[in-house]
Amino acid sequence: MERPEPRVGVFVCHCGLNIAGVLDCEELAEWAEQLPGVVVSKDHEYACSDAGCRMIQEEIKEHDLNQVVVASCTPRTHEPLFRETIEKAGINPNLFELANIRDHNSWVHRTFPKEDSMDKARDTIKMAVEKVKLNNPLPPIEIPVGKTAVVMGGGVAGINAALNLGDDGFKVYLIERSPSIGGRMAALDKTFPTMDCSICILGPKMVEVDRHPNVEIISYAEVTKVEGWVGNYTVHVTKKPRYVTEDCTGCGACDEVCPVYAPREFEEGLDVRKAIYEPFPQAVPDIYTIDMDRCIKCGLCIQECIEQGPDAIDLDQEPEEITLDVDTFVVATGAGLYDPSVKNDYGYGIYDNVVTAMELERLGCAGGPTGGEVIRKSDHEEPEKIAFIQCVGSRNQVDDTETSYCCQIGCDNTIKLCFILNEHMSDVDIDVFYKDMRNQNEGLYRRVKEMGVNFIRGTPSQIVEDPETKNLKLRFEHTTLGKIMEKEYDMVVLTTGIVSSEGTWKANEALPLSVGEDGFFTPAHPKLKPVETSQDGITIAGTCVEPQSIHNSVSQARGAAATIASPMITGKIGKDNIIAVVDEEACICCGLCEKNCPYGAAIVEEKGKGGTPAEIIEAKCAGCGACAADCPSDAITIRHFTDQQIIAQIHAALENNPEDKILCFICNWCSYAGADFAGVSRIEYPPSSRHIRVMCSARVDTDFILEAFKQGANQVLVGGCHLPSDCHYMQTGNKLAKKRIDKFTKKLKKKHGIDPDRLRLVWVSATEGQKYANIIKDMNEKIPEYREVAKEGIKTG
Mean of the per-residue pLDDT values of the chain? 95
456-478 per-residue burial string, b: 16 or more CB within 10 A, e: under 16: bbbbbeebebeeeebbbebebbe
pLDDT band at 310 (very low <50, low <70, confident <90, very high): confident
Which range has the worst mean pLDDT, 171-180, 351-360, 388-397? Answer: 388-397
Half-sphere exposure of 2 (CA within 13 A, CB side): 2
282 has pLDDT over 60: yes
Q: Which residues pair with 434 in a beta bridge?
A: 457
Which range has the worst mean pLDDT, 59-68, 417-426, 523-532? Answer: 523-532
Query: What do you get for the CA distance between the two ends of the chain, in Å?
Result: 36
Query: Three-state SS for 272?
Result: strand
**Cα–Cα distance for residue pair 229/792, rounded to 1 Å:** 50
Mean pLDDT within 71-90: 96
At residue 88, φ and ψ (nearest 5 deg) are -65, -20
Q: What angle in degrees, to the nearest 10, is found between the helix axes of 550-570 and 156-167?
A: 30
Mean pLDDT within 654-664: 98
Strands of the 715-720 sheet, one edge to the other: 689-694, 662-667, 715-720, 759-763
- Tens of pLDDT, residues 444-484: 889 999 999 999 999 899 999 999 999 999 999 999 899 99
Closest among 179, 193, 154, 137 to 6, alpha carbons compared: 137
pLDDT band at 197 (very low <50, low <70, confident <90, very high): very high
Share of the chain above pLDDT 90, in %: 85
Structure-derived torsion over alpha carbons of residues 58, 62, 66, 70, reported in degrees to the nearest 10: -40
**Cα–Cα distance for residue pair 187/442, rounded to 1 Å:** 25
- Tens of pLDDT, residues 545-600: 999 999 999 999 999 999 999 999 999 999 989 999 999 999 999 999 999 998 99
Closest among 504, 581, 569, 416 to 222, alpha carbons compared: 504
Complete DSSP assignment for 759-794: EEEEE--TT-HHHHHHHHHHHHHTHHHHHHHHHT--
pLDDT band at 176 (very low <50, low <70, confident <90, very high): very high
List the domains of the chain with CATH numbers: 1-139 (3.40.50), 148-327+551-570 (no CATH), 352-494 (3.50.50.60), 579-638 (3.30.70.20), 641-797 (3.40.50)
Q: Where are the beta strands (DSSP E) in 567-668?
A: 572-575, 580-582, 602-603, 615-616, 636-638, 662-667
**Cα–Cα distance for residue pair 474/421, rounded to 1 Å:** 21
- Tens of pLDDT, residues 756-785: 999 999 999 988 999 999 999 999 999 999
pLDDT of residue 534: 82
Whether 420 contacts 364, CB under 8 Å: yes
pLDDT of residue 712: 96
pLDDT of residue 796: 65
pLDDT of residue 262: 97
364 has pLDDT over 80: yes
154 has pLDDT over 80: yes
More confident site: 155 or 506: 155
Asked if the peptide bond before residue 279 counts as cis, ω within 30 degrees of 0, the response is no
- Tens of pLDDT, residues 223-276: 999 999 999 999 999 999 999 999 999 999 999 999 999 999 999 999 999 999
Closest among 459, 312, 466, 313 to 395, alpha carbons compared: 459
pLDDT band at 426 (very low <50, low <70, confident <90, very high): confident
286-315 per-residue burial string, b: 16 or more CB within 10 A, e: under 16: bbbbbbeebbeeeebbbebbeeeebebbee
pLDDT band at 1 (very low <50, low <70, confident <90, very high): low
pLDDT band at 797 (very low <50, low <70, confident <90, very high): low
Amino acid identity of 214? N
**Cα–Cα distance for residue pair 389/675, rounded to 1 Å:** 44
750 has pLDDT over 80: yes
What contacts 189, CB < 8 A, 6 or more positions away? 197, 198, 361, 362, 364, 365, 366, 368, 420
422 has pLDDT over 80: yes
pLDDT band at 440 (very low <50, low <70, confident <90, very high): confident
pLDDT of residue 30: 98
pLDDT band at 610 (very low <50, low <70, confident <90, very high): confident
Closest among 275, 282, 278, 280 to 302, alpha carbons compared: 275
258: which DSSP letter?
-
pLDDT of residue 524: 82
Whether 214 contacts 172, CB under 8 Å: yes
Whether 284 contacts 182, CB under 8 Å: yes
At residue 130, φ and ψ (nearest 5 deg) are -65, -35
Structure-derived torsion over alpha carbons of residues 241, 242, 245, 247, reported in degrees to the nearest 10: -150
- For residue 143, CA distances in Å to 501, 536, 560, 583 come to 33, 10, 19, 23
pLDDT of residue 140: 87
342 has pLDDT over 60: yes
